[in-house]
């Protein structure tokens, strides 16, 4: 059985790494705090009897052998990096729960037919380098060496340089591609919404995962004196940017777009002084949705809108795609399998989509993949107030344990 006290203690210890004064957590990918947290996780893996290896991108993989080590692997995991001043449950839940599953198997002396692997994916958050789920992309062969030189943090360091600092060779990133057979992959996660909490249900079984398309949009106008330039003679990059921000909100809010959402989460105005009309503005735009056609419609309408704003305001607007992910539909077999597990454990559950992207959406391209959610308080995430009840953490971990135990126990078909 899952040990709540052990889980709670591991969450407490990990929360101390990267802790901020207001209770938040900062563990940016490849940072010192990220690496300190990795060392803590490596030690937990070893204590659970896992043999740990590190792939070419830095993903941690802990392996427990089965009676047939050539059999396809049952895999589970998530990530431990965070957004700036975020919480200690996003991603961490899936990692600590996965290790707890192994600890339970070890404590019971249970030998499985299939090997089991726990994976901690690097750089799931986009906070430092502007691209999300990079560890799982590399794991699935979707990350190119050229991209590592193009992605730059706020201090001017490329991802390739950050990797070299950690003893990794960016030229060898293709070697991170996982080549073994995977029977199934599971990721346990906090909901980051209020559906489960409001419904009073313990487990969310994910039917599909939304995926983001992210843009960098640069608006170039003319920097001029704020007092001497008449209003009708201005090429104000910031007012044009303001129109774009409102356009994103308008398009994403249309009912016809089936729940596709849009966010302008980054804005930089230059020269950034009060008495100069902004001559250049850079925006970071995130468009995401469950339905690919709806997301694409929003993107097309946004692109048309950029052209109209450019013409009307007399500014230059360039747009470049940082990442373009495809929404994922979880297989009916996996969904029904997890429903059966939750029911067998007498846990209340519901089918639901994930509006946030996760590492599982990439694993779904190479193996049967499933996701489980547990409630998080008030739906708050990426925030110091992010919190999950240990009862719900234990319930989610128990469902994960039951699913992994059943699949790994003996030779058989995929779910």
Binding residues for allantoate: 214, 275, 288
- Among 397, 43, 19, 83, CA closest to 388: 397
DSSP-assigned letter for residue 369: E
Coil, strand, or helix at residue 227? coil
Q: What is the CA radius of gyration of the chain?
A: 23
Q: Which residues does the annotation place in the binding site?
A: 79, 90, 125, 189, 214, 275, 288, 382
* Residue 372 CA, distance from chain mean position: 14
189 in Cβ contact with 76 (< 8 Å): no
CA distance 174 to 65: 25
Task: Catalogue the E-assigned strands of 154-221.
Answer: 182-190, 203-209, 211-220
Cis peptide before 58 (omega within 30 of 0): no
Tokens standing for residue 283:
């925006």
Structure tokens at 197: 């909490």
Contacts of 143 (CB under 8 A, 6+ apart): 57, 134, 137, 173, 176
Residues marked as binding for Zn(2+)?
79, 90, 125, 189, 382
Task: Give dist(CA 349, CA 22) in Å, integer.
Answer: 34
HEC letters along 89-142:
CCCHHHHHHHHHHHHHHHHHCCCCCCCEEEEECCCCCCCCCCCCCHHHHHHCCC
Burial of 303 (0-12, 13-18, 19+ CB in 10 A): exposed
Peptide bond connecting 112 to the previous residue in cis, omega within 30 degrees of 0: no
Characterize 320-348 residue by residue with b for buried, 16 or more Cβ atoms within 10 angstroms of its Cβ, and e for exposed: eebbebebbebbeebbebbeebbeebebe
């Amino acid at each position: 059985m899952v040990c709540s006290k052990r889980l709670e203690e591991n969450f407490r210890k990990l929360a101390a790494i990267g802790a901020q004064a207001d209770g938040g957590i900062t563990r940016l990918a490849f940072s010192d705090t990220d690496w300190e947290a990795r060392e803590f996780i490596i030690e937990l893996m070893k204590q659970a009897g896992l043999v740990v290896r590190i792939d070419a991108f830095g993903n941690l993989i802990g392996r427990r052998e089965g009676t047939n080590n050539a059999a396809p692997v049952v895999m589970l995991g998530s990530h431990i990096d965070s957004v700036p001043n975020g919480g200690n449950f996003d991603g961490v839940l899936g990692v600590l729960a996965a290790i707890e599953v192994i600890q339970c198997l070890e404590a019971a002396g249970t030998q499985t037919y299939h090997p089991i692997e726990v994976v901690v994916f690097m750089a799931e958050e986009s906070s430092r380098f502007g691209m999300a789920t990079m560890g799982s992309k590399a794991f699935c062969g979707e990350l190119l060496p050229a991209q590592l030189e193009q992605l730059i943090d706020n201090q001017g360091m490329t991802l390739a340089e950050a990797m070299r600092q950690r003893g990794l060779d960016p030229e060898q990133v293709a070697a991170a591609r996982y080549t073994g057979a995977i029977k199934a992959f599971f990721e346990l996660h906090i909901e980051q919404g209020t559906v489960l909490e409001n419904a009073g249900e313990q487990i969310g079984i994910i039917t599909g995962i939304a995926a983001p398309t992210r843009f960098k949009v640069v608006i170039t106008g003319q920097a001029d004196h704020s007092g001497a330039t008449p209003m009708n003679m201005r090429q104000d990059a910031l007012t044009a940017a303001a129109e774009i921000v409102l356009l994103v909100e308008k398009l994403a809010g249309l009912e016809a777009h089936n729940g596709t959402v849009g966010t302008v989460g980054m804005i930089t105005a230059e020269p950034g002084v009060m008495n100069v009309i902004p001559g250049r503005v850079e925006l970071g735009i995130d468009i995401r949705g469950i339905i690919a056609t709806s997301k694409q419609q929003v993107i097309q309408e946004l692109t048309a809108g950029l052209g109209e704003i450019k013409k009307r305001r007399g500014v230059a607007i360039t747009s470049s795609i940082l990442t373009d992910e495809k929404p994922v539909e979880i297989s009916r077999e996996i969904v029904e399998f997890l429903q059966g597990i939750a029911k067998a454990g007498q846990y209340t559950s519901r089918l639901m989509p994930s509006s946030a992207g996760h590492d599982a959406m990439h694993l779904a391209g190479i193996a049967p993949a499933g996701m489980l959610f547990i409630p998080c308080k008030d739906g708050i995430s990426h925030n110091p107030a992010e919190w999950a009840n240990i009862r719900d953490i234990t319930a989610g971990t128990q469902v994960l344990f039951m699913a992994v135990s059943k699949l790994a126990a003996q030779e058989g078909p995929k779910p």
